Amino acid sequence: MDAQNLLRLSLSVGLSGLVFVVISALIFWPFEELLEGPKGERPKLKDLAYLWFYQSFGLWIGAGIIFEIAFQLRGLLPHAWRLFVLHQPFWLQATAALLFAEVWVYSVHRLSHQWKFLWQFHRVHHTLVDMTWSASSRQHPVDFFLAVVGANLPAMILGIDLKSIALFVLLERLYTVMLHSNLNLDWGWFSKIVASPNLHRLHHQPTTRGKNYAGILSLLDVLANTYEPPAPKPGSDVAGDREHKLTG
């Protein structure tokens, strides 16, 4: 690739990250003003730079690593297996890509809290205590690439349709921004299946860091006994029942 084409590619990649930041700001910044959680945080230039870089060059670098490893390992699979995967319906391939990625994210996230070697990288993300959309990508590069590469590598090795993987990546990136937004939102009983901003806020509190590791599928936390529900709102039936049990 000559210098001119490399420059065009770099500009395109950088622009894609900028578009992501702008879209995130247009969606989540107004919602933070309307549905603000416990504390209000405003965007910081450093956090916006993290968000831009990881959603542009970070993803492209990660994709290059994934393609290279997958290319080397895919040849070990029987040709019949690759044909079988390719002939599966799109929705099934997309579901498989989601499940592979979520199991990896949960596992490596939990390990990052329990293994000091990985915690030294992951703790950068946990400097985020007062939630805000703009800080969702406040991460150490090792932490970012470990999650992104590991989450998408199984699907690539198995030969799952790239459109399915791209759909998951887009969904996961936007959902991650929402989870870190300062939004007072919870899905009720459905939060035991899909994570909510209130659920993930608990994970970023020093007293509950050992809970709610899942990215999107909080069902994994339920199954692994690491699920911690948000405290019930004062005056709610659940809060009343809990208070009655404590005083009864």
What does the pLDDT look like over 42-80, one tens digit per residue? 788 899 999 999 999 999 999 899 999 988 888 788 888
Distance CA 90, CA 212 (A): 30
Under-70 pLDDT residues of the chain: 1, 36-41, 232-248
pLDDT tens for each residue of 30-46:
888 777 655 666 788 89
Burial class, 49, CB count within 10 angstroms (exposed 0-12 / middle 13-18 / buried 19+) = middle
Taking Cα atoms as reference points, which of 197, 231, 201, 200 lies closest to residue 31?
A: 197
Three-class SS of residue 123?
Answer: coil
CB 241 within 8 A of CB 214: no
Between the two ends of the chain, the Cα-to-Cα distance in Å is 74
pLDDT, the chain, mean: 86
Instruction: Record the pTM.
Output: 0.85
